[in-house]
A and B are shown apart, each in its own frame.
Chain A
């Protein structure tokens, strides 16, 4: 039964192209709602299949293993709520006359193709085709970030295009190096680019070539993941992009880039042992955490605030993967919970931006009173992102801290210190927004906007709460399979 996988990849392509063709706003909305439903349902079904059978494939076109299924779940669920939020958000922009119908449909076309490219990238067995799909997502994101065409948006878009063009070229060089090494073992053919084959023969690949390939992939995809010191595009892009796009960038694209790094890590670990990648990941993860924790405090723009929080959480996840074992388990768990919480935070931020038409943090105080929906979204997501129980990020951060103590005690102290700093600064900033004297009503939002945004926020919150402190059985199965891919047994302390 492979059709959920086909639907998962094909639905956004069809909905995107369809949105360009239909000449009616309501029809575009209907298409997007169908897409949201299809994404959610098919992602869950693919996940179920992988839980039952361990994998799923459509010939050599699409192939899914545990790690892919995990990403399918993240991109599927957040992609689905993101689409709903986009319908509300862009609908409001349209109703206010900021957009023509043509640009409205073009936005959804780009948005859907962006989601489709990401889903294609994760359901691939071929590392070069994965690269092509990731490049596709980069290009569509480039147009989405500059979508509003203001000077600031164009500047952010230009920064993003140039930095990610360089990053993605470096990643391609890493891919070529893998091929350069593997074609001597697997022959000059596509077989030499397939994960499943590479994993089998990893011990026979040339260690130096694989090490250099990993460094190129880490820097290249790391640029896309917003890993410090290549993160400079990230806050600008997240702040200037239309908010539904910010949510998708943060929750899905960063996660996708981490996924690509992990694929290279699995091969490298098997070829040269885990020490090499682990040191690099722990180093870069800690650096990102340091940069983010410092800059969180000085942010005056609430979208930039959440952008820096993304750098922080990607850093934490990388650190977890660098610790290995239970850390890998926690890292993957962290990625899912971060995606859910961060997109909910951006949905809230989007509503605030629509209401006030600026992003100054200290001029939107008292949100809980004057914009309860946005206020609740930002409060709950903020608590989750700060790492408070009963949310999954608490579990994963605790687990990473404990495994760090076991494996690299010298890092653990720094990690906890930075985590505390980030916790305090993020919560301080969030409370400044949601409490205090209400900042005046702002522009009222249309009913449709509130309905769609409310649904998106509600679904995210419900999932976030439901998986909260205990990892559901099916997810444990998949997470264990992911840890096995990295070749070390899990021991959850």
Chain B
């Protein structure tokens, strides 16, 4: 009897997804920007591992390619770019947040419940192996979205966006057994270009406003 029965496999995928979610909480609680970037890179590694596990268990090989791309782009390239931005801009800490850490964690707990509530009617539709991943994927997206609202520095907003993307990718590869390869490639390309453009914007914001604190962007209002 093989060691990896579908039951064990399913548990492992759940474990991987849960670890991703756990890291989201860590990101919300972390004030140091470079640690946030590291956490994001770690999350991407877990994401790639979960995706590779799904590929192994289902025999759908193109998910391996997506997993490899996740390692290269999200665990190596994008964190490097972000670290360079942080160094250049000299923003080590998030001193001011819109929401304090305990309240933020509490809200994130609520978001996880919301995600399970929303996806409840459609969970039974999923494949047996990866049933709960969809709810976790949505939870990660919502927390990423929350991070974008709760933080003021442009760099942390970018991390929030990337966490959202990780949630999406978990949804696509674990819950839906991977989108067709061409789609995955296109999505990766867009994420990479998106991160670059946001990077360019942070530079220009720094040059124009002498700050990457987005709460200073107040010229335009009614």
Contact = CB atoms under 8 A, between A and B. Distances in A.
B171 A128 contact: no
Contact of B125 (A156, A157, A209): A209
Interface stretch (A94-102, A175-183, A370-378, A469-477): A175-183
A173 B208 CA distance: 35
A183 B164 contact: no
Given A180-B126, A208-B122, A166 B208 contact: no
A169 B204 contact: no
Given A172-B168, A173-B168, A236-B220, A158 B201 contact: yes
- Decide if the interface of chain B is mainly helix, strand, loop or mixed: helix
Interface string A105-135: 0000000000000000000001011011001
Interface residues of A, number: 49
B208 A151 contact: yes
Nearest to A190: B180
A274 B141 CA distance: 29
B148 A139 contact: no
B2 interface: no
Q: Which of A132, A183, A240 has the most CB of B within 10 A?
A: A132
Contacts of B183: 126, 128-129, 132, 190, 193
Interface stretch (A13-21, A141-149, A258-266, A329-337): A141-149
Nearest to A152: B219
A397 B168 CA distance: 39
Contacts of B145: 166
Interface in B82-141: 118-119, 121-122, 125-126, 134, 137-138, 141
Given A143-B197, A154-B205, A180-B175, A169 B165 contact: yes
Interface stretch (B6-14, B41-49, B185-193): B185-193
B175 A158 contact: no
Given A155-B219, A209-B122, A139 B204 contact: no
A189 interface: yes
B122 to A, nearest CB: 4
Contacts of B141: 169-170, 173
B40 interface: no
A184 interface: yes
A151 B182 contact: no
A492 interface: no
Contacts of A131: 187
B24 to A, nearest CB: 15
Given A128-B186, A162-B157, A193 B122 contact: no
B119 to A, nearest CB: 8
A169 B164 contact: yes
B154 A158 contact: yes
Given A129-B183, A136-B190, A193-B183, A149 B204 contact: yes
Contacts of B177: 183, 188
Q: Which of B118, B125, B134 has the most CB of A within 10 A?
A: B125
B56 interface: no
A199 interface: no
- Decide if the interface of chain A is mainly helix, strand, loop or mixed: helix
Contacts of B164: 166, 169
Contacts of A209: 122, 125
A169 B205 contact: no
B217 A139 contact: no
B176 interface: yes
Interface size of B as a range: 35 or more
A196 to B, nearest CB: 16
Interface string B59-70: 010000000000
B33 interface: no
Given A166-B145, A166-B161, A154 B208 contact: yes
A158 B138 contact: no
A1 interface: no
A34 interface: no
B198 interface: yes
Interface in B185-222: 186-187, 189-190, 193-194, 197-198, 200-201, 204-205, 208-209, 214, 217, 219-220, 222
A77 B209 CA distance: 39
B194 A165 contact: yes
B154 A190 contact: no
Contacts of A161: 197-198, 201
Q: Which of B165, B183, B186, B209 has the most CB of A within 10 A?
A: B183
B179 interface: yes
A295 interface: yes
B172 interface: yes
Contacts of B122: 177, 180-181, 206, 208-209, 212
Given A176-B171, A180-B175, 18 more contacts: A135-B194, A139-B193, A146-B204, A152-B220, A154-B208, A162-B157, A166-B164, A169-B168, A176-B168, A176-B175, A176-B179, A181-B125, A188-B60, A190-B182, A193-B183, A208-B122, A239-B220, A298-B222
Interface of A: 126, 128-129, 131-132, 135-136, 139, 142-143, 146, 149-152, 154-159, 161-162, 165-166, 169-170, 172-173, 176-177, 179-181, 183-184, 188-190, 193, 206, 208-209, 212, 236, 239-240, 295, 298
Interface of B: 60, 118-119, 121-122, 125-126, 134, 137-138, 141, 145, 148, 154, 157, 161, 164-165, 168, 171-172, 175-180, 182-183, 186-187, 189-190, 193-194, 197-198, 200-201, 204-205, 208-209, 214, 217, 219-220, 222
Task: Please provide the 7 A-B residue pairs with the shortest distance between their CB atoms, ordered closest to farther.
Answer: A132-B186, A208-B121, A128-B183, A155-B217, A209-B122, A135-B190, A190-B180
29 contacts: A128-B179, A128-B183, A129-B182, A132-B187, A132-B190, A135-B190, A142-B201, A146-B204, A149-B208, A151-B209, A151-B219, A152-B219, A152-B220, A154-B205, A154-B208, A158-B201, A159-B220, A161-B198, A165-B198, A172-B187, A176-B171, A176-B172, A179-B172, A179-B176, A190-B180, A193-B183, A209-B122, A209-B125, A212-B118
